[in-house]
Amino acid sequence: MTFRRRVGAMLVLTCAACVTVWAAAPPSDAEFLKKAQALFKPLPKVMDSAANPITPVKVQLGKMLYYEPRLSKSNVISCNSCHNLATYGVDNLPASIGHRWAVGSVNAPTTLNAAAQVAQFWDGRAKDVEEQAKGPILNPAEMGLAHADIAVENIASIPHYVGLFQKAFPGEAKPVTYDNIAKAIGDFERTLTTPGRFDKFLEGDVAALEPNERKGLATFIEVGCASCHKGALFGGGAFEKFGVFRPYQEATGSKVLDTGRFEQTNKEDDKFVFKTAPLRNIERTYPYFHDGSVWDLDTAIAVMLGVQLDKKLAIADIENLRAFLYTLTGEVPIEARTLPVLPPSTKKTARPDVN
Amino acid sequence: MTFRRRVGAMLVLTCAACVTVWAAAPPSDAEFLKKAQALFKPLPKVMDSAANPITPVKVQLGKMLYYEPRLSKSNVISCNSCHNLATYGVDNLPASIGHRWAVGSVNAPTTLNAAAQVAQFWDGRAKDVEEQAKGPILNPAEMGLAHADIAVENIASIPHYVGLFQKAFPGEAKPVTYDNIAKAIGDFERTLTTPGRFDKFLEGDVAALEPNERKGLATFIEVGCASCHKGALFGGGAFEKFGVFRPYQEATGSKVLDTGRFEQTNKEDDKFVFKTAPLRNIERTYPYFHDGSVWDLDTAIAVMLGVQLDKKLAIADIENLRAFLYTLTGEVPIEARTLPVLPPSTKKTARPDVN
């Protein structure tokens, strides 16, 4: 073991400089795995939270609310409208469509694995999925409710929901609150993990990756992608400037210039700073970047290489990178994909208002 | 048996005139059941068609297409947007929202049990669910594709779909056609049956109905509802004038006067003639009537009694009718409610156009 480790360390030092060295003297399976394990983590089964511990009834309730169009003014839009679990928690649009066909300003990120991120939204303005869930319901260009109280009144008008809130939040005198709506939705999202083939590799099954995928992973590490896209999510752990070597819009062709966190903080250092996108299920969550400006994954890879790392790679290398990234596609849990039976409205439930 | 039948027949003759007679001398369980069985049928497990026989792969494909937003111009709207299987195959809106937030002209009927109807749409202009499925995709106010070829090209651009069409329509040189898209969706819809508590009663379990529900059923038969709302679906079997004794809009408060089949046929006899609404799952498919003008089931019952039968009933009778109608609520099959995993687009797939 000691000998192997030393050889491994030497190889790592040698290989850090150049991918072609690896082609000549590839590291042992064990060393390669070890290197990957140091950078990446398997996805957890669930993404629990001390502040909002997962319980089966809260998840059941949260799933209903995730699919609940009565949390929108029109009764047409639910969380699942833009974060469609039939399409990996996204709508595959550059920007989502909201109330009265409003077009959103940024690309809707996937809800899959989202709870494990350092923060929510592209600019990180919500600290967790619970806080995030409160946003779209009240956004006039999304679900369009005028006030949180309307969401609470709508849900509280439906006895089946009241019963579930009582079970999900025992001991609370008035459990149907906007905070608890968000907690339930958050808890459901905390179950949305999608382990894939890459996790098998990371857990020790080195044969789980094909040779070209393994080459892609090696390149991913060597050229510097993994300095930001790391951890269990391959991203989502920090904020970085998009456009390190040149303005991103030169490469993405973005028509609107979004300054990222700067719009929240007004700090010069936050200009063009966004949350690093998690790369789990990237195959399915096109179009890419905060503005959905790029449709093709190979192009997105080339953009990132140029703009963030000042690098250009051969087509074959990009193809291997793409093949590796496809190993991050997992399975959307079937329980989450099974539509709940939503309880009927009552005379006290607000009627839909599509205007 | 012979004696019982005779007594039963006498009771039926006596009771046909007035509900109160039954209260004094209720028919035997067996006779009541027999009477119900003569008018109503249990729901079939599936609603198969000789022209489009159900096969597992066609149903699997049809389910994917039912949930497929790429059959709409915007990639936002699928069949399930308006016929949401989380809410009993409807959107609980007076009229659905379509492309660019267009508001539809009639209430979206449920897809549940729909295949067993004599025809589709409120005016019966499509002969079956296969023909019906072709409408909304190309309706500018619904899914908004400009031409059937675009639907075909979109689906044919996705290899996973092509493979499924080859399996679902074996022996066809080019199986991805608009007809076959409709056939697959139709076949999926042919599995959407929702047997409920009433079917248990009809199959012989007379205790499946509570006394008030049974009273409601008796009233339903006696006052004449069952002359149109009969068969397995409690309707959906014929066309009738809405407004026999007085114009419907006087009772419903409808703001727009829809002349029903007249708009298709231009025949005077078809003025205000609509397909008889099936009453299965009526509890969940509010708001009511072709224009969704009435939200409350008790009101809808009173409207029908007045407009179609020139009758008024006591509140208690209407409550019993409603209680009986609730026994027609069934379960949406869980397989149908489980969202498919939709295959990714390719470079050949048209990008969404929300304009």
Tell me: the pLDDT tens digits for A49-80? 999 999 999 999 999 999 999 999 999 999 99
B334 CB near a chain A CB, below 8 Å? yes
Q: Which residues contact A105 (CB under 8 A, 6 or more apart)?
A: A95, A141, A256, A258
- Residues of B with catalytic function: 142
Question: In the block, which residue shows the tokens 């008796």?
Answer: B218
Residues of B in contact with A342 (CB under 8 A): 86-87
Q: Which of A31, A68, A130, A142 is catalytic?
A: A142
Residue of A nearest to B88 (CA): A341
Residues of chain B with confidence (pLDDT) below 70: 1-26
Q: Name the nearest CA neighbour of A122 among A12, A6, A278, A307.
A: A278
Residue of B nearest to A285 (CA): B344
Q: Name the nearest CA neighbour of A331 among A17, A15, A5, A43.
A: A43
* CB within 8 Å: A284 and B344: yes
B101 CB near a chain A CB, below 8 Å? yes
Cα-based angle B158, B191, A60 (whole degrees, multiple of 5): 80
CA A18/CA A223 separation, integer angstroms: 8
Least confident of A25-39, A185-199, A234-248: A25-39
* CB within 8 Å: A341 and B86: yes
Burial class from Cβ neighbours inside 10 Å (0-12, 13-18, 19+) for residue A13 reads exposed
Look at residue B231 and give its three-state secondary structure. Answer: strand
Length of chain A in terms of residues written: 355
CB distance A182 to A134 below 8 Å: yes
Does the interface predicted TM-score (ipTM) exceed 0.90? yes
Q: Indicate if the alpha-carbon torsion angle B19, B24, B27, B29 is positive or negative.
A: positive
CB distance A343 to B352 below 8 Å: no
CA A334/CA A273 separation, integer angstroms: 35
Alpha helix ranges (H) inside chain B: 2-15, 19-24, 29-39, 56-66, 79-82, 129-138, 148-156, 159-168, 178-189, 197-202, 211-223, 248-252, 262-265, 297-309, 315-326, 334-337
| Packing angle, helices B56-66 and B178-189, rounded to 10 | 100
Residues 296-315 of B with CB under 8 A from A: 296
Residues of B in contact with A299 (CB under 8 A): none
Q: Name the nearest CA neighbour of B261 among B272, B245, B277.
A: B272
* CB within 8 Å: A75 and B92: yes
Question: In the block, which residue shows the tokens 């599936």?
Answer: B46
pLDDT at A25: 58
pLDDT digits (tens, 9 = 90+) for B292-302: 999 999 999 99
pLDDT at B26: 66
pLDDT over threshold 50, residue A35:
yes
Residue of A nearest to B295 (CA): A347
Which of B92, B97, B332 is opposite residue A341, by nearest beta carbon?
B332
3-state secondary structure chain A: CHHHHHHHHHHHHHHCCCHHHHHHCCCCHHHHHHHHHHHECCCCCCCCCCCCCCCHHHHHHHHHHHCCHHHCCCCCCCHHHHCCHHHCCCCCCCCCECHHHCECCCCCCCCCCHHHCCCECCCCCECCHHHHHHHHHHCCCCCCCCCHHHHHHHHHCCHHHHHHHHHHCCCCCCCCCHHHHHHHHHHHHCCCCCCEHHHHHHCCCHHHCCHHHHHHHHHHHHCCHHHCCCECCCCCCCEEECCCCCCHHHHHCCCCCCCECHHHHCCHHHCCEEECCCCCCCCCCCCECCCCCECCHHHHHHHHHHHHHCCCCCHHHHHHHHHHHHCCCECCCHHHHECCCCCCCCCCCCCCCCC
CA A263/CA A248 separation, integer angstroms: 17
As given in the structure block, the two tokens for residue B24 are 């004094």
Length of chain B in terms of residues written: 355
* CB within 8 Å: A92 and B295: no
CB distance A263 to A125 below 8 Å: no
Residues of B in contact with A67 (CB under 8 A): 86
Q: Which residue in A286, A339, A348 has the most chain B C-beta atoms within 10 A of its own C-beta, making it the best mutation to test that interface?
A: A339
Mean of pLDDT values over A202-212: 96
CA A250/CA A297 separation, integer angstroms: 17
Q: Which residue in A293, A341, A353 has the most chain B C-beta atoms within 10 A of its own C-beta, making it the best mutation to test that interface?
A: A341
A326 CB near a chain B CB, below 8 Å? no
Residue of B nearest to A347 (CA): B296
CA B40/CA A240 separation, integer angstroms: 67
pLDDT at B9: 36
pLDDT over threshold 90, residue A21:
no
Residues of A in contact with B331 (CB under 8 A): 341
Burial class from Cβ neighbours inside 10 Å (0-12, 13-18, 19+) for residue B2 reads exposed
pLDDT at B25: 58
pLDDT digits (tens, 9 = 90+) for A281-335: 999 999 999 999 999 999 999 999 999 999 999 999 999 999 999 999 999 999 9
Least confident of A15-19, A175-179, A332-336, B72-76: A15-19
Question: In the block, which residue shows the tokens 């039968």?
Answer: B309
b or e along B318-352 (b: 16 or more beta carbons within 10 Å of the residue's beta carbon)? bbbbbbbbbbbbbebbeebbbbbbbbbbeeebeeb
